[in-house]
């Protein structure tokens, strides 16, 4: 029947991983007692090793859930802390140190914590038992301890001494049982004394007659009885202490000597239970019986819990199986699929569009700097010379002045570093498209995956950056010396630049609106503009603009006014140039000096078209080839199981889904194990019946 308790303890440990409902627990033996009642000594005499924290200052601050595993086929004795990943600790003083550290890690201000420490001890000399050691009850609160400590310890113990647990109530023989904190607590939750075992320690400290009376206590009779022990090893056997393997033998020898010296009180005729060996046997029997009794009820509770989990799985998740790996694999597939769609939709035309739009801005910059420049002077400076713009319609095709101006503008475009610029804008367009793809993918709620994907993209793009921009720069090199535009290109440019100018015009208008709002209305802005205009024409004399402003306008207002004047003039010029571009004059390439807008637009288109050919080969195709492979590396083979699990659980929805499945699996496993145990037990009963 040993196998039964062992299996039940194993089931109990699996159940503790299921968590949640308190109905899903199998019984354990909970050890309570006042400080110094001899609680640790009893536990150590059962285990046969000194392993519990020692010291005067509240050394047990957390529950210790102790699982003893009998290993008859091996001589090795060792402990394990499964939560800490500490395995096979054969040195029990090291277990003791770890326990002390874990306990002392609970800050003094809290003093106790209900977070249990899990410890398993494997040995051929221990019975299969599941014991929980709790902080000892205290009488008075120490100097550095919080006042409510007494209360906290008592509450913590109360949590554990609930059914179906068995209570091991430790009391010392030299203290009146009526004053035993352990028995008082047990009586509160087990008034009929049905699941409490009384342990009376320090039997050697009272005379034998008195001891025997205590063990047959009638005040608080216990169905499971009292056991008297002497669990302290006499100090002269310090030798035994060092050789802890003999602790058990030393104790029982010592106990034997003591109890057999009083045959009248403790002998077989006396009708009392004494000795650690007796206690161990009792614990085994009681635990087995209690476990056996809960087999049915806990089994039913588990069955019900399983039904609930199964229902939730069906209704919420449509019975869809899921594992962290499959979730990752599916997410990756979905992402790759959307990437494929993106790749099909983003090619040369799209890159051309992006690059051309960027170059359009550069064209506008050149036009503004070389043709449309109307600097707004300080108010105290005389107005500027008449603008070049006024000369444009009569630009003489033979004048070197206009030649130089157009050449300089075109060469500023070809030499602005198109290779770098083009590579940059295309690379960042790719990167931001990848970001968008992530946002629409299952990876959106996975910071870890998002980072991995973003890095996969940027590492490829960075790696290709320099060679691509060099290539592109090389290919447009001829245009730096000469650039020929044919009729077709001219007409295209003429069509296109009209749109660019209109867009620029609407930007000017929008900026003007913003200024109006900023200064508090159209009228106000108009007043400032009028003042600035008059000052520029010299209609009014401005005595040097001071910090506080001029003409009754604050300096800030004047600054806004100047911006407005600039925008208005820019808009005027653009309107004029729009008319020019549409005019007959600009229809023919022969008049290119009249129409720098069209010419520069055509140049920009040529630059964009050539660049895109090489961007496509050097950057985009390479990216399309490498990216999916890089994803496989980063989110596939290289991840450990823990990383995959962590990844999947980043998404709360997935986490819940995975947890339901795990819960279901654990419960199924537990039920299966319980069922086979029940069959085993049934067979046993039949066998016993036959005997």
Q: Which residues bind ligand GDP (CB under 6 A)?
A: 33, 35-41, 136, 201-202, 204-205, 230-232
Q: How far is the CB of 679 from ligand GDP (least distance, A)?
A: 41
CB-neighbour burial class of residue 547 (10 A; exposed 0-12, middle 13-18, buried 19+): exposed
DSSP state of 177: G
Q: What sign does the dihedral 654-660-665-670 (CA atoms) show? A: positive
Q: How far is the CB of 36 from ligand GDP (least distance, A)?
A: 4
Q: How far is the CB of 215 from ligand GDP (least distance, A)?
A: 14
Compute, in degrees rounded to 10, the torsion defined by CA atoms 295, 298, 303, 308. Answer: -170
Q: How far is the CB of 21 from ligand GDP (least distance, A)?
A: 32
CB-neighbour burial class of residue 171 (10 A; exposed 0-12, middle 13-18, buried 19+): buried
Alpha-carbon distance of 530 to 524, in angstroms, equals 10
Cα radius of gyration rounded to whole Å, the chain: 44
Q: How far is the CB of 267 from ligand GDP (least distance, A)?
A: 19
Report the 10 Å Cβ neighbour count for 330.
12
Q: Which is nearer to ligand GDP, 180 or 294 (CB)?
A: 180
- Closest among 411, 398, 327, 322 to 599, alpha carbons compared: 411
Q: How far is the CB of 127 from ligand GDP (least distance, A)?
A: 20
Expressed in angstroms, the distance from the first to the final Cα of the chain is 16
Q: Which is nearer to ligand GDP, 11 or 168 (CB)?
A: 168
Q: Which is nearer to ligand GDP, 51 or 443 (CB)?
A: 51
- Closest among 563, 553, 513 to 531, alpha carbons compared: 553
Q: How far is the CB of 190 from ligand GDP (least distance, A)?
A: 21
Q: How far is the CB of 205 from ligand GDP (least distance, A)?
A: 5
Q: How far is the CB of 95 from ligand GDP (least distance, A)?
A: 16
Q: How far is the CB of 41 from ligand GDP (least distance, A)?
A: 3
Q: Which is nearer to ligand GDP, 141 or 205 (CB)?
A: 205
Contact 193, 221 (CB under 8 A): yes
Alpha-carbon distance of 591 to 598, in angstroms, equals 10
Q: Which is nearer to ligand GDP, 39 or 405 (CB)?
A: 39
Q: Please, which residues bridge with residue 117 across strands?
A: 64
Alpha-carbon distance of 523 to 208, in angstroms, equals 111
Q: Which is nearer to ligand GDP, 29 or 580 (CB)?
A: 29
Q: What sign does the dihedral 366-371-376-378 (CA atoms) show? A: positive
- Closest among 278, 50, 292, 39 to 157, alpha carbons compared: 39
* Cα angle, residue 209 at apex, residues 205 and 213 outer, rounded to 5°: 95
Q: Which is nearer to ligand GDP, 251 or 595 (CB)?
A: 251
Q: Which is nearer to ligand GDP, 201 or 605 (CB)?
A: 201
Which residues, 6 or more positions from 444, have their beta carbon under 8 angstroms from its beta carbon?
438, 450
Q: How far is the CB of 59 from ligand GDP (least distance, A)?
A: 8
Q: Which is nearer to ligand GDP, 41 or 423 (CB)?
A: 41
Phi/psi zone of residue 319: left (φ > 0), alpha (ψ -120 to 50 degrees), beta? left
Contact 117, 64 (CB under 8 A): yes
Q: How far is the CB of 106 from ligand GDP (least distance, A)?
A: 17
The pairing of strands 166-172 and 196-201 is parallel
Alpha-carbon distance of 569 to 383, in angstroms, equals 14
Report the 10 Å Cβ neighbour count for 176.
10
Contact 174, 143 (CB under 8 A): no
Q: Which is nearer to ligand GDP, 133 or 305 (CB)?
A: 133
Write down the H helix ranges in 271-417.
Answer: 276-317, 324-345, 348-370, 400-414
Q: Which is nearer to ligand GDP, 150 or 534 (CB)?
A: 150
DSSP state of 243: S
Contact 62, 118 (CB under 8 A): no
Q: Which is nearer to ligand GDP, 33 or 79 (CB)?
A: 33
Q: How far is the CB of 73 from ligand GDP (least distance, A)?
A: 32
Q: How far is the CB of 653 from ligand GDP (least distance, A)?
A: 48
198 membership: H or E segment, kind and range: strand 196-201
Q: Which is nearer to ligand GDP, 180 or 290 (CB)?
A: 180
Q: Which is nearer to ligand GDP, 52 or 406 (CB)?
A: 52
């Amino acid at each position: 029947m040993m196998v039964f308790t062992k299996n039940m303890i194993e089931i109990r440990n699996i159940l503790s991983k299921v968590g949640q409902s308190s109905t899903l627990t199998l019984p354990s033996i909970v050890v309570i007692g006042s400080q110094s009642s001899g609680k640790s000594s009893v536990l150590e005499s059962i285990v046969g090793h000194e392993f519990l924290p020692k010291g005067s200052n509240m050394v047990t601050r957390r529950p210790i859930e102790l699982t003893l595993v009998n290993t008859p086929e091996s001589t090795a004795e060792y402990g394990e802390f499964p939560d800490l990943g500490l395995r096979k600790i054969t040195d029990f003083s090291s277990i003791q140190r770890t326990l002390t550290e874990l306990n002392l890690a609970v800050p003094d201000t809290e003093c106790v914590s209900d977070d249990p420490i899990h410890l398993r001890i494997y040995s051929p000399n221990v019975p299969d038992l599941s014991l929980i050691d709790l902080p000892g009850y205290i009488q008075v609160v120490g100097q550095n301890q919080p006042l409510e400590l007494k209360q906290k310890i008592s509450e913590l113990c109360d949590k554990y001494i609930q059914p179906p647990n068995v209570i091991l109530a430790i009391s010392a023989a030299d203290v009146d049982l009526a004053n035993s904190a352990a028995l008082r607590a047990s009586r509160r939750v087990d008034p009929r004394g049905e699941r409490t075992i009384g342990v009376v320690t320090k039997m050697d400290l009272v005379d034998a007659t008195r001891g025997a009376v205590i063990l047959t206590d009638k005040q608080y009779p216990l169905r499971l009885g009292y056991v008297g022990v002497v669990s302290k090893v006499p100090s002269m056997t310090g030798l035994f202490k060092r050789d802890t393997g003999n602790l058990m033998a030393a104790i029982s020898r010592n106990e034997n000597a003591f109890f057999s010296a009083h045959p009248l009180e403790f002998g077989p005729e006396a009708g009392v239970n004494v000795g650690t060996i007796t206690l161990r046997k009792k614990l085994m029997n009681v635990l087995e019986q209690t476990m056996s009794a809960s087999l049915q009820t806990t089994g039913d509770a588990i069955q019900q819990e399983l039904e609930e989990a199964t229902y939730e799985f069906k209704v919420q998740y449509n019975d869809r199986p899921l594992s962290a790996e499959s979730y990752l694999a599916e997410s990756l597939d979905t992402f790759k699929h959307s990437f494929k769609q993106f790749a099909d939709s983003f090619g040369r035309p799209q890159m051309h569009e992006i690059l051309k739009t960027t170059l359009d801005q550069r064209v506008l910059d050149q036009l503004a700097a070389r043709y449309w420049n109307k600097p707004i002077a300080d108010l105290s400076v005389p107005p500027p010379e008449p603008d070049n713009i006024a000369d444009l319609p009569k630009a003489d095709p033979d004048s070197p002045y206009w030649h130089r101006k157009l050449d300089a503008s075109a060469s500023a475009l070809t030499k602005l570093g198109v290779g770098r610029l083009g590579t940059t804008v295309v690379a960042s367009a790719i990167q931001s498209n990848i970001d968008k793809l992530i946002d629409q993918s299952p990876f959106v709620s996975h910071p870890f995956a998002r980072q991995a994907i973003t890095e996969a993209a940027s590492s490829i793009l960075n790696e290709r950056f320099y060679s691509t921009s060099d290539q592109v720069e090389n290919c447009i090199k001829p245009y730096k010396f000469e650039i020929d535009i044919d009729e077709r290109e001219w007409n295209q440019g003429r069509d296109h630049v009209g749109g660019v100018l209109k867009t620029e015009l609407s930007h000017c208008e929008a900026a003007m609106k913003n200024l109006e709002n900023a200064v508090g209305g159209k009228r106000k802005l108009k007043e400032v503009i009028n003042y600035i205009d008059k000052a520029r024409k010299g209609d009014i004399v401005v005595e040097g603009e001071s910090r506080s402003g001029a003409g009754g306008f604050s300096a800030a207002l004047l600054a806004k006014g100047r911006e407005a004047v600039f925008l208005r003039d820019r808009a005027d010029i653009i309107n004029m140039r729009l008319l020019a571009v549409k005019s007959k004059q600009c229809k023919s390439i022969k008049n290119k000096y009249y129409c720098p807008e069209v010419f520069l637009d055509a140049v920009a288109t040529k630059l964009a078209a050539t660049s895109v050919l090489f961007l496509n080969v050097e950057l985009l195709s390479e990216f399309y080839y490498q990216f999916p492979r890089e994803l496989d590396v980063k989110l596939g083979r290289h991840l450990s199981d823990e990383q995959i699990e962590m990844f999947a659980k980043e998404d709360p929805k997935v986490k819940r889904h995975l947890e339901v499945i795990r819960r279901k699996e654990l419960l199924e496993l537990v039920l299966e194990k319980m069922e086979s145990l029940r069959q085993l037990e049934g067979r046993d009963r039949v066998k016993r019946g036959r005997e």
